[in-house]
Amino acid sequence: MKSKTKPILRILHIVSWIIFIGLCVRAGAILYSFFVSLFLNTGGAKNLYAGLNLSSLFMYDRVQYCIVVSLIAFISALKAYVFYLVIKIFLKINFVHPFSDTVATLVSRIGYIALFIGILSIIGMSYCEWLGRKGVDFTDLHQFMGAGVEHLLFAGVIVFISQLFKRGIEIQSENELTV
């Protein structure tokens, strides 16, 4: 591996850790705020996390509130899990023989989880639009749930890369057999 590549990969590894920790904190803070707003302070729904105001949903129906917040927290946790898998790739990859079953499995898993995040985001936004037509006011929900399309595109690219990895494994094993 070239000497210029190592520092870049080290920086990407550190950035992945920072993003992973940030997403874990975000998911944990959403869950903590959710439980506080549900059991201790009902006014907590006004600023659930980083300006997310779900107080009108809380007043409308607590069950719907629980569903929406659980969906937001689950999507945040899945995003953190994606970066956990990215960190595992950095730890598992061997640059002498980069194509391994472990890395291919991790890349494939990232693609499928991104697909799941995209589908959940689309379902969640559709659900919130349905609640909005019933009179519930949502503000800035895209920031927390996303539209889903970007995750579907990301999933398609990652699944394509995982297929390239699987082909790379085949070529690498053929080369090892011929040498």
Residue-wise pLDDT tens digits, 40-60: 877 777 777 777 778 788 888
pLDDT for residue 177 is more than 70 = no
Measured distance CA(149)–CA(146) in Å, rounded: 8
Q: Which has more confidence, 12 or 44?
A: 12
pTM: 0.85
Q: What pLDDT, on a 0 to 100 scale, did the predictor assign at position 60?
A: 86
Q: Please report which confidence band the pLDDT of residue 2 belongs to, taking 50, 70 and 90 as the band edges.
A: low
- The tens digit of pLDDT for each residue in 108-146 reads 999 999 999 999 999 988 888 888 888 887 777 777 777
pLDDT for residue 150 is more than 90 = no
Determine how many CB atoms are found less than 10 A away from the CB of residue 39.
9
Mean pLDDT of the chain: 85
Measured distance CA(52)–CA(31) in Å, rounded: 13
Measured distance CA(93)–CA(108) in Å, rounded: 14
The answer to whether 18 and 92 are in contact (CB under 8 A) is no
Alpha-carbon distances, residue 48 vs 29, 37, 52, 54, 60 (angstroms):
9, 8, 5, 7, 16
Determine how many CB atoms are found less than 10 A away from the CB of residue 106.
22
**What is the average per-residue pLDDT within 53-77?**
88
**What is the average per-residue pLDDT within 74-95?**
91
pLDDT for residue 179 is more than 90 = no
